[in-house]
Every structure is written in structure tokens, then in C-alpha cells.
Amino acid sequence: MADVLSVGVNLEAFAQAISAIQALRSSVSRVFDCLKDGMRNKETLEGREKAFIAHFQDNLQSVNRDLNELERLSNLVGKPSENHPLHNSGLLSLDPVQDKTPLYSQLLQAYKWSNKLQYHAGLASGLLNQQSLKRSANQMGVSAKRRPKAQPTTLVLPPQLLLSACWPCPQASSLHGCNMAAVHPVLTRYVDDVISRIDRMFPEMSIHLSRPNGTSAMLLVTLGKVLKVIVVMRSLFIDRTIVKGYNENVYTEDGKLDIWSKSNYQVFQKVTDHATTALLHYQLPQMPDVVVRSFMTWLRSYIKLFQAPCQRCGKFLQDGLPPTWRDFRTLEAFHDTCRQ
């Protein structure tokens, strides 16, 4: 490669030209530094002006001297020979319509891309070889057999409720093989009892329960005069929530709860997103009543949505929004950006 570059090029003059470029850039920088600093502190105004003019003239002379040196070296460098050993690829540059079909530049780009692809493939191969993942079909079959099966998410009712529902069934003592059709009324009463107890726990929260689609319950939670929450339940598991403003319409034209449309206000859309996150946080399939009670306790903390300041920055508003995040453990208020 050195022989190829040296054809028609004075390498010594080329290196000196690079040094001359660096010297020219330094001298130009000194000129601008002189203009930036201005007149230095002297005893008299006339002395400051003379010192500034003399310093500025010296810097300009340095620029002129470095520029002349660069022009002299550029004439000594010479031009590279046009006979590069590009072999057959060099014929592509002879295309008369190069602007319309830039094959040569595309070929160089493809060559760079293939080199980069080869480099990253080598890195990936080295990382994969370090892992040494050797699995056969038999080993995967054995591991699949040893893997525990995922337990279905079911509602665990108290045994006394199941026994009262199945009595006087002769299989009630074992609770296996009994008719589960008799359990649905008991399940409905159990859900109603849990919701009514939660409603009595929080006086400032009003919970209206309805079942427009059969056994699944839908809750309309009104938290003071701040907001309303539509809670869609599947048995005693909360499926989804929609938070809207207190004055917003929560019903459709046919009088049913609107479980699909979002709030018209950005603050309640934020609270809806945080409520969905809370549902994922309070997950305890073995005790769904505890999950509902914990979620309602967390939801009750929004009674001071527009009154509580952020616990980190101390401000009531940030980007036009109040602190919409509530900590899952302490129930403290934070802005969405301050909680990070």
C-alpha cells in the first residue's frame, strides 16, 4: 500500500504539509483569541491600544507566514498517478454516465458494508462460542418433563363457602367432582361481600357494583369529587381500569358503562396508565380479595390529586400536570419524571 501511495507523491513534503496545516490552524486560533480577549489592562488607554495593535499584527503575520509555507509545500507534494492497480474494478470509473449510474461509489460502499458485516459476525461468533450451548432433542425433552407446569389462575374461595354450596351433595366432603353450577351463586355473593366491605372501609369512596354481562362484575368507583374509575372484573380479579374526571360522562348511549373510551384530560389518562401498572404490581392469585383491597387503598390516595405536592421537587405542577404517580408502598405523590 505504501508503494501505491508513493507513486507520483512526495511523502516527505506531504508530511510537512500536514504539519503546516496544523501550524496554520493554531495561528488562526491565536488571532481569534486576541480579538476575544481585547485590550489588556494597562496604565493608560493609549498604552492598551498600542499593545493590542502590536499583538494583533504579530498574529496576522504568523497567519500569513504559515499560509505561504503551506502553499509552497503543496506545490512540492505533486499529484498521484492515475494508474492505480484497481484491476477490473478500475474500469467502472471509466463509465461516461457516472452521475446517472454511480457504480464505482456503490461498489466501494458495498465493500465497506461487507467488511463491517464480517467484523460483527466474528464478534458474534466469539460470544456464542463462549456460551457453549449444547442441547439435543433428548435433553430438551427431559428438561421439558422436569419443568413444572404453570398453574391456572383461579379464584380460591373459602372452603366453608364451597361446602355450603355443595351441601347436601355426597361428594361435598372431598370437593372433587361436584356440580360447579351451584358454586356460581356463592361466588357472586362472595364478590359482593368483598366489595361491600371495601366500600365500608373508605367513606370518601363510593362503589357501585353492576353485572351487565352476566356474572362478571363492573365497578363504578367515585372518589370524592376528584375522579371516577371504571373497574372491569373477572370473578374477583381486576381485568382493566379506566380513570376519568368527576364531571366526565362514563356511560354509553344505551346506558351501560363505557369501558373503552379514554378520558378527555391528559391528567386522568396518566392516572389510567399508573392504575394499569398498579394492577400488575398487586398480583397475588392466591388471595384476590387482598389484591382488590390493596388496589382500592392505592386508588384512595388520589383523593388529594390536585392538593398534594411532589415529594421530591416540592412543586404542585410540572409541565402543566399535578403529581400523578403514587408510590405503591408509601402512597406518596410524585411527578412522573421525579419518581425515576
Nearest C-alpha neighbor of 187 from the set 210, 223, 217: 217
pLDDT in tens for each of the 340 residues of the chain? 444 444 566 788 888 889 999 999 999 998 888 888 777 666 667 777 888 888 888 988 999 999 899 888 888 887 666 555 556 666 655 655 555 566 667 778 888 888 888 888 888 888 777 755 444 444 445 444 555 555 544 455 555 444 444 444 444 444 444 454 455 677 788 888 889 999 999 999 999 998 887 778 899 999 999 999 999 988 888 888 999 999 999 999 988 899 899 999 999 999 999 999 999 888 887 888 889 999 999 999 999 999 999 999 999 999 899 999 999 999 999 998 888 7
Which pLDDT does position 187 carry in this prediction? 78
For the chain, the domains span 2-77, 180-305
Predicted TM-score of the model (pTM): 0.49
Please tell me whether the peptide bond between 168 and the residue prior to it is cis, using omega within 30 degrees of 0. yes
The answer to whether 244 and 236 are in contact (CB under 8 A) is no
∠ CA 237-243-246, nearest 5°, is: 130
Which pLDDT does position 216 carry in this prediction? 81
Which pLDDT does position 88 carry in this prediction? 67
Report the alpha-carbon distance of residue 118 to residue 127 in Å, rounded: 14
Which pLDDT does position 310 carry in this prediction? 93
Report the alpha-carbon distance of residue 283 to residue 237 in Å, rounded: 9
